[in-house]
Chains A and B, each alone.
Chain A
Amino acid sequence: MSVLATIATQALELAQEPLTAADEKGIAGAAGAGMAYGLAAIGPGIGIGYLVGQAVQAMARQPESAGTVRTTMFLGIAFTEALALIGFVVFILLKFA
Chain B
Amino acid sequence: MLHALLLAAEEGGAEEAASNPILPTMNELFWGAIAFGVMYFLLAYVLLPPVQRARNDRAATIQANKDAAESARAKAVSATAEVSDQLAGVRAETVTMLEQARAEAEAERQRLVSRADREVQAMKDLVESEIATEREEALATMRPQVADLAVGAASKMTGRQVDLAAVRPLVDRYLDNPN
Q: Is B11 an interface residue (CB 8 A)?
A: yes
How many A-B contacts are there with CB distance less than 8 Å? 35
Closest residue to B12 on the A side, CB-wise?
Answer: A2
Q: Is B8 an interface residue (CB 8 A)?
A: yes
A92-B22, A96-B21, A97-B22 known; A5-B9 Cβ under 8 A: yes
**Which residues of B, 105-125, contact A by the 8 Å Cβ criterion?**
none
Q: Is A31 an interface residue (CB 8 A)?
A: no
Which listed residue, B12, B16, B22, touches A89 by the CB 8 Å rule? B22
Q: Is A9 an interface residue (CB 8 A)?
A: yes
**B12 and A6 form a contact (CB under 8 A):** yes
Give the distance in Å from the alpha carbon of A8 to the alpha carbon of B13 in the complex.
13
**A5 and B22 form a contact (CB under 8 A):** no
Q: Is B6 an interface residue (CB 8 A)?
A: yes
Give the distance in Å from the alpha carbon of A15 to the alpha carbon of B3 in the complex.
18
**A9 and B16 form a contact (CB under 8 A):** no
Give the distance in Å from the alpha carbon of A56 to the alpha carbon of B108 in the complex.
87
Give the distance in Å from the alpha carbon of A96 to the alpha carbon of B13 in the complex.
10
Give the distance in Å from the alpha carbon of A12 to the alpha carbon of B5 in the complex.
12
**B5 and A9 form a contact (CB under 8 A):** yes
**B22 and A9 form a contact (CB under 8 A):** no
**B16 and A2 form a contact (CB under 8 A):** yes
Q: Is B20 an interface residue (CB 8 A)?
A: yes
Report B80 CB to chain A, min CB distance, Å.
37
Report B178 CB to chain A, min CB distance, Å.
110
Which listed residue, A2, A12, A89, A92, touches B8 by the CB 8 Å rule? A2
Chain B residues near A96: list those with CB within 8 A.
16, 20-21
**B9 and A2 form a contact (CB under 8 A):** yes
**B20 and A9 form a contact (CB under 8 A):** no
Q: Which residues of A contact B (CB under 8 A)?
A: 1-3, 5-6, 8-9, 12, 89, 92-93, 96-97
> Which 9 pairs, one residue from A and one from B, show the smallest C-beta to C-beta distance?
A2-B12, A5-B9, A5-B5, A6-B9, A97-B20, A5-B8, A96-B21, A9-B6, A9-B9
For this complex, 25 residue pairs linking A to B, each with C-beta atoms less than 8 Å apart, are: A1-B8, A2-B8, A2-B9, A2-B11, A2-B13, A2-B16, A5-B5, A5-B6, A5-B8, A5-B9, A5-B12, A6-B12, A6-B13, A8-B5, A9-B2, A9-B5, A9-B9, A89-B22, A93-B20, A93-B22, A96-B16, A96-B21, A97-B20, A97-B21, A97-B22
